[in-house]
A and B are shown apart, each in its own frame.
Chain A
Amino acid sequence: MALGLSLALGATAAEAAIAFRSAASVDRNGSAGSITISRPPGTQKGDLMVAVIAVVPSSVTVTAPGGWSLVNRQTNTNGNSNALAVYYKVASAAEPASYTWTFSPNNGNAGGIMTFSGVDNASPIHAAAGQLTTSASTSIAAPSVTTTVADTMIVTGHEYAASRRWTAPAGMTEAFDVASRAVNSNGGVSTIGSYMSKPAVGPTGTLVATTGGNADTGAGITVALKPVVCGAAVSDAAYFVATAGNGTVVLAWSGASAVVVLRKSSPFTGEAPAPGVTYAAGDPVGAATVVYAGSASSLTESGLTNGTSYYYKIFAADGVPCYSPGTELKTRPEAGPRPAWSFTMAGGSMLNAGIAGSGTLYTSSNAGRVISLGTGDGLPSWAPMATTAPIQGSLTWLPTGGRGVRSLQSGTAAMAAGTSGAAQTVDVPIAAVDLTRAVLFFSVRGSSAEPGDGQVRGQITSATNVRFYRANDTSFSDLTVRWTVVEFRGAVRVQRGTSSVSNGGTIPIAAVDPAQSFVLASCSVASTDMTYGSDDFFRVRLLGATGLEIVHGTTAVKTCDWQVVEYQGAYVQRGTGTLAAGATTSGPVTIAAVDPARSLAQVTWRTSGDGSGPNLVRARLTGPTTLEVDRAATGTTIEYAWEVVEFADGTRVVPGTSSLGAAQTSASAAIAAVDPARSVAVLSAYQRAGRTAYASDDNVGPGWFTVALVDATTVSVERAIGGGAAADAAWFVVEFPDRNPVVLGGDQSGRVYAVDVASGTANWQALLTGADAVQAGLAAQLRAWSDAGFQAAHADDLIFAATRNASTTGNKVVALRAGDGSVAWTFNETGVYAMDYVVGMPWVDYGLNRLYVASRAGSSGTQPSLWVISTLDGTLLGSFALGHLETSPTVSLDASTVWVASTAGNLYAVDTATLTLKWSGPAALGAAVKGFVLEDGVVPGRLYFSTADGQVWCLQDPGPGAPPNPASPVWKRAVAGASTPLVLDKVYVGSSDGRLHQLDRATGVDEKQFVLGDGTATVGDPSTEDGAQVFAGTTAGTLYKVPLPLP
């Protein structure tokens, strides 16, 4: 049947208008000394309550209950004198059941409370005014107020000195109408509370309420309530996950600045935080409870009831606060041991159980995230990594990824002493590097009081050259440069330049993520600059994503070489500060907590004057949350900029300080062993400075060092001259990671991702040319496991990605280099072959350097559908028209056979030696095979698979000749919606009945069934880490770890 519904929506949460919720009042309270008015029903935290209190005579003192604020009081001494007062209160989460106003002796009182939602809590009263009716009348006016914001709520109170019922002002709605005495009576007092929405700004006009008689004097008050005004719609947290264990749920979400998390024990039915209202844990929101309000990114709930489903919904908040629509998930603590834990990601199904090993499981969700979980506790190892579209194919794990150091070169460059009238340039040839991924680190030592002589800048000037430069001087001194060039495999992007700088201005750079980027810079000065001063030290910092600042203290123009290093997997903090002329230390500079074993600090500065010691500083991490910048001598004001770089990709940092005595020019320090092939030693200040008290002249030599990693366990610092002054050099040895493993997957936008398993960041992602989507899992061929032919053809591992295009003829298979995602070859790049889409993971035959790819067979069903492609160059070696294939091809353990099945239910076997069909015809199974065929590890040719008609099969390949008879399988067992089986000592399959089934491997008997969660979701393909447990995901977006054996 056809069905479409249009749902009429009112204002959105972000456009919430003020709404009247309810009212309460007290009629015929007589002349009591107090009036107690109930809290209007349904009043919630953040609602605004407006009370209208009327008394006679006018001299009566009115005392409001705690928390109520007076908006306006009108005291009418004319005629039968009377008074009217209006109060307001913003409701808290715990309001009393009633409120009592007390009076001095009086002749009558009456009042009521109106509650409104959607009022600005911080400034609820937009305008208010009162007016007296001094002559007896049955028409009592409240004055006009003028609103200057839209969507206000106009509230009025009217009162006169008689007991009578009222008619609300035109256009207004009566909320209550009460009198102190029985109506109609000349004595006492009566009052009416009324309200109306006012969408437009402007005057309200006079608002007149009337009674039917008993004319008397009275008063009216008009109040305009200010609405909550929300800005742009607030976006939900990018992800929301939960790990449930024994009585606990650990929630985690993306780092929105502020969030409110609600919990219920039933599905949410509209409960949401109200705009403009600030919440705290424990506050009720309808039937839900606030369990967290703040800016953290995780929450642990304990003491929960096992076996109970809990529903959590997270709302991101802006500064108003206004809230996002919210993201909901359902989770269910269990006592265990089965399931050991469950992990839920909001936003979509999770039917791949993932790949697990070494204590970590990697999987993906339809929420568009790659997920890493500790198999022990089910907690995320890193923030789930976003993909453009869902990855549904199985992830692929590779032991060596694209991160880490491709090459590291280091050396010493001498800038020799001499007499010259020209600048000195020293070119150092290096082995070719990729300029976009190579970084130069260097340090300098020398003995010179002249900036033109001693200030050296360095840069990688080509793929094969590093250049060091100082300006011309009449007399050069000896300088020694220790340099290291680190070329990264990936995840690092370097831009560099040479710029003229002075005391201001911004150098434009290509956009970077400042939170992942740091700067290295070095400068030379003019040849005529013979004295160190305010134009010789440089402060360097990033100004946002596209700007770099290098400044000194004067307008003189200097030249600087700079590198901006964007390092995925690094977290960079930065800031500036000042050392006053008389100060030696910054004291502790507070930073966001870092792990000092993974972090380095660097500082640059500009100065107000000359001198050596006062202008040489160092920077150190003095704790996880503190940085210190200090010097050994005072005398100049220093403005410094600092960066703290914390690595999260497996990089290790060894920090240290070397202190040199007055006559000492070198020192060595022992460190925990690092791999010199991927480690570099750097100094914290200008990459060359330390602190010293040397103050005899401008010679920076006593405080300038070279630093080098001598061997795996030794760091050496050297200076050219002691100068009779002690010095301290702060250094860091940074050991970059080896080639971390990666997980790879292709998504439904046609992108392939290589995700570093240590950091959870993408080493690279590649948008495949000509791909609408990638559905199939990615196959890989490791170079190290391949034969000489492959190794000769390829310098890297290859990843094979096949397309799932809308076209039935234009699909491709792309081979990508694992290191950087570049294309090695593309099969069917120009559409020579009519290739339909591929959804099954291709199979790599290492022995023959072949890739077997199964595809559909086009709109006619007659196109080739099994493709045999050379992994060496992507050429076609053979093809078969076997009908529509939506499974993965499976190569037998002896590599002699490829099994593949069609959607029509035909199982084929192909002889890999002859590339001919092995059987005389297909085995007609009657229904499509799901996923792939799995061969038994013990009995050759024994195949396990599931078919779309809900059967799990065990079938024996009889060898060449007649196909196996599907009517006589080893066994066949019906399991509703059976998934692809996992074959361990038992056979495990997920089912549409919400259960994990355990079948006997020999007989197929359905021995046990284990319900996952509440059993309402379809269970996907199971996986395991080591055979002692099963992981299984569901359509509900929950993945379970079920230790074996099943109960």
Chain B
Amino acid sequence: MNIRSSSRHLALEALPERTASVDVSFDDARVWSIDVRQFGASVELDWPETLQPYLVGSTRISVRDSTDGTLLGEREVSFSADPQRTSVTNTDGTPLVLNKWGRLGVALDAMSVDVQSLIVERSSTLVAQLRELGLRPFVVGGTLLGAVRDGKLLPHDDDADIAYLSVHTNPADVALEAFRVGRALADLGYELQRHSATHMQLLFRGSNGRIIHYIDVFAAFFSADGLINQPFHVRGAMRQEQMLPFGEVHIGSAVFPAPADVDRWLTINYDANWRTPIPGFVLDTPPETSRRFDGWFGSFNFQREFWDAFYGTAATRGASGASPEEDREDAEQEWAAGREWLRSTADAFEAPTLVDLGCGSGILSRQLARDRAERRVLGMDYSVEALERARESSQDERTDYEHVNLYRARSLAFAAEYGVEAPFDVVANHLLEQIGHHGRSYAWRIMRMALHSGGRAAFAFHARPSTNVTFTDPTGWHLETAQLVAEASQFGLEVEFQELAQPVAPETGPIKLAVVNGTRPVSRALRAGRMPIGALVRLAPRTRAATPAVHSPGGRS
């Protein structure tokens, strides 16, 4: 087999007919596994976007058959003139592999035997704890596949997957139960991140605070139509007796419960060829299934991986010699006009607490706290990395950073949870155009809560998309003023816009910021750019009249 490669493409020529999956390695470190069943004897692929930043220097690319490790071909290539060897590792030097979601992560085969044993041990403990909670746990996904096929964890996987079979059939009851399960697991000491109502991820950190591995916990249930469901992917025809009573599978010496008919389960989860190892296998959830599960259980993690990577990466910069704070300001330069406008606007805000919704690394929160020493600034975000960066950079005791997820109705409870009393103000810098309409509905509500509390609300956004806008990069998204006006009116709100001058790029001169009168024609420079706009939010007159200032139980019903 021949290999050709540039920094953009990888071409594999004369692939053996029997090969279903190949492992691509740089200097013997696996970086990517590819399901090649869909291709002919020759294929040219783009290097995945997430790998491209690492394609620097030279390496020996080798391609092996994933099933038996047979070397199919190798070749020395230079991606660039840089003298170093190409390295795809994290900041600890641990090799990273492209996972089934197209993201880079640490695969189990790169973890030590000790860590793998720990994952199995922790999975066993978790199964016991779920049983103690009165649930019916069993292993699913790659953990079940590895156990059935080889009696061990899949080397190409990156976590353990455990589900519990709910007794409920109604999605609302299943979600409600899952919220309680999540709280019970948190009470047991687990660090938990919710991707949806029924998909929880338990995070396990090392002594340095870095995440070593995950265990995913899912709810599974039979819906009223008789189908088995395990969001986010599994949905298919399965009889109760194919599920219960549970059978057993082994991972090393550990015994785990499994569906009675593992063949049926794995066929629904993967396909009828689940016995053939395809490390590059990509789960292809039917759109109607995704739509159903997203509706029933939400997408609490919508774009969160992006933001975690965005703020995680900014924190590791420093080659320029600049401080981490300066580096972050540089990375967030595109939002500077909105930041400055919100600072000047919030100068007139008088509530004792100001909430910075979608605070990111907290640049604006800190500036707002410095501007007015007497007020408490509460920065809120759903990205763990963003909140960590914000807390690291904040020396100011009047600035707090807390988790809030605008894809959840629970976000409305933030005031009670974080001790915010009336009145409070809200600002949001380039949040609304980057969260989608589901998140926006709760952002509008929080702004309305601020206004009803006697506070004020303002936000900034881009009215034009970036030239290379994509679905996967929300920083390029935009909103039009007409759409915002229409949305605001649905929440009984009015919006007043002000066009903001774009910041001049740092290398071409100092940042010049000025509010442009909204009635003036938009300058040519503004037309060419992203068109940052500031927006002041007010209660529409009818809302002011209709909403009581003091809440009472509201009589009998």
Asked if A and B are interacting partners, one says no
A interface residues (Cβ-Cβ under 8 A, vs B): none
